[in-house]
């Protein structure tokens, strides 16, 4: 019995030491990184402020609320998942502007010689300007997502149903393209 406790105690002690060394190793790796965050955002430490301008809707078909909702959600995501502060003046370190460039419907499924599924494709083009580093080229990004819906729905009905998914997916894709080097 005493031998068993001693063996178990030794193996647990060894496991604890291994864990401590592993944690110290990981912490030392992270401490050596110049720019790091757990959400994947790669933002230089000298960048403190951001201005997200209103995302205009320049698509052929227009959802009247999409511009405002997408702009608001992108602002919220940047402020909540980075250390950047939202400002509304020309002094922002990062200046983001752009527009919705695509809002199109196409047929994506046919059953019994009739349309069964339609696809709404929403596209956005944005420009990120780094005002902290004069002469740096602006970063142009585009994001596009497609959303399938039943052909029995009108476009406005489908847009209402898909609205949260459209905003969430586009915001995530835009954020990742703006701030991650994936």
pLDDT single digits (tens) 93-123: 999 999 999 999 998 888 887 888 999 999 9
Give the pLDDT band of residue 135 (cuts 50, 70, 90): confident
- The dihedrals phi and psi of 42, each to the nearest 5 degrees, come to -115, 90
**In the predicted model, what is the mean pLDDT of residues 82-93?**
94
Residue 38's pLDDT is: 42
Under a CB-based contact definition with an 8 Å cutoff, are residues 84 and 126 in contact? Answer: no
Specify the pTM.
Answer: 0.75
Q: What is the mean pLDDT of the chain?
A: 84
Q: Is the pLDDT of residue 32 over 60?
A: no
Q: Is the pLDDT of residue 37 over 80?
A: no
Q: Is the pLDDT of residue 84 over 90?
A: yes
**In the predicted model, what is the mean pLDDT of residues 52-58?**
97
User: What separation in angstroms does the CA of 83 have from each of 29, 94, 132, 160?
Assistant: 21, 12, 16, 33
Coil, strand or helix at 167:
helix
């Amino acid at each position: 019995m005493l031998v068993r406790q001693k063996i178990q105690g030794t193996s647990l002690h060894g496991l604890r030491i291994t864990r401590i060394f592993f944690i110290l190793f990981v912490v030392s790796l992270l401490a050596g990184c110049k720019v790091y965050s757990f959400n994947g955002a790669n933002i230089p430490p000298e960048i403190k402020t951001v201005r997200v301008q209103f995302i205009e809707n320049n698509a052929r078909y227009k959802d009247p609320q999409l511009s405002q909702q997408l702009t608001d959600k992108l602002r919220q995501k940047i402020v909540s998942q980075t250390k950047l502060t939202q400002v509304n003046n020309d002094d922002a370190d990062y200046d983001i502007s752009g527009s919705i460039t695509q809002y199109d419907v196409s047929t994506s499924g046919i059953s019994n010689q009739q349309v069964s599924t339609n696809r709404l494709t929403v596209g956005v083009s944005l420009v990120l300007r780094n005002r902290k580093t004069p002469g740096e080229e602006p970063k142009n990004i585009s994001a596009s997502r497609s959303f399938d819906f039943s052909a029995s729905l009108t476009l406005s009905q489908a847009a209402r149903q898909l609205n949260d998914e459209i905003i969430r997916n586009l915001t995530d894709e835009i954020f990742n393209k703006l701030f991650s080097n994936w």
